[in-house]
Amino acid sequence: MVNPKLIHITDLHFGVSADSVLAGINPLDSFNAVLDAIDENGFGEELLLLSGDLSGVAHRNSYKMLNGLLKNRNKQVAWLPGNHDRFSLMEKYLDNFPFQRVTDLGNWAVLSLDSSQLGTPAGHLSGEELLCAERFLSNLRDRPVLISMHHCPIPIGSSWLDEHKIDNAEDLYNILIRHENIKGVITGHVHQNFEGLWGKLPLYTTPSSCIQFKQGSDIFGISSEPPGYRWFDLNVNGNFTTGVAFASGFNQLPNVNSSSY
């Protein structure tokens, strides 16, 4: 049996139109550059997990553009919302890619949770999401599972971003830790690569497909790193390897002097 693979892309930050620019970068161009890099690395057929901030402005046009682009490039996709998204608009306009709680990947599965809340960039898991986690995990006991959500549950060493971490992460941790088949947690929002441990669970964040935040900075800052993504090679025996890659030939430079995004 061939090992299933998963490609994690996050924080696309599409704008209102195809020529929108975020801190010097056109988010459509950078997303296409990431997809090209994925093709070049031989992962073009693999499922893409898009973990929130698909739009940077919660506008229907972002989702319409993304839907068309993914359809044209013949992609398999799973997605979940971030703080810059609006779930109802995503469901309506990502019409070729219906939201799914559980994504099947060979004998593995990904469970998607919504950690976003209206009116704040910070993360929280509603009672409904926690119940969802309980319910779906009880049906996934027979296979290795990855959990995905937009916000990070632990600090990553950047205090302005750490203020956004999920405020009731322990409620979810107490559910997850009862399931030995949970192999790791994948999140977005922090626009940078980070690998750490959430208690006993391996945790991975991934560079944005658009702009990156400066690592280890206590105040907002943009780094000069190019758009990126993360790959997972999921062994049928329940082990996995993962790594981050960048669209190295991308020729748009982020404006590192931007004071917001």
Write out the residues near Fe ion by the rule CB under 5 A.
11, 53, 82-83, 189
Which lies closer to Fe ion via its Cβ, residue 20 or residue 144? Answer: 20
The DSSP secondary-structure symbol of 188 reads -
Distance in Å, CB of 190 to Fe ion, minimum? 8
- CA–CA separation, 118 vs 228, rounded Å? 27
Nearest distance from residue 104's CB to Fe ion, in Å?
A: 26
Give the position of tokens 């070049």.
Answer: 40
DSSP state of 31: H
Say how far residue 224 (Cα) sits from the centre of its chain: 20
CB of 210 to Fe ion, least distance (A): 8
Residue 1: how many CB atoms within 10 A of its CB? 7
Cβ atoms within 10 Å of 171's Cβ, excluding its own: 15
- Which residue, 53 or 114, is less far from Fe ion as judged by CB? 53
CB atoms within 10 A of CB 18: 13
Smallest gap from Cβ 238 to Fe ion, in A, equals 30
CB nearer Fe ion, residue 83 or residue 212: 83
Q: Rounded to 5 degrees, what are φ and ψ at 172?
A: -75, -40
CA-nearest of 150, 144, 148, 54 to 107 is 144
| Residue 79 beta carbon to Fe ion: minimum distance, rounded to whole angstroms | 14
**12, 66 contact by CB (below 8 A):** yes
CB of 53 to Fe ion, least distance (A): 4
5 versus 189: smaller Cβ distance to Fe ion: 189
Residue with Cβ nearer Fe ion (4 or 81): 81
Longest alpha-carbon distance in the chain: 49
Nearer to Fe ion, 80 or 94 (CB): 80
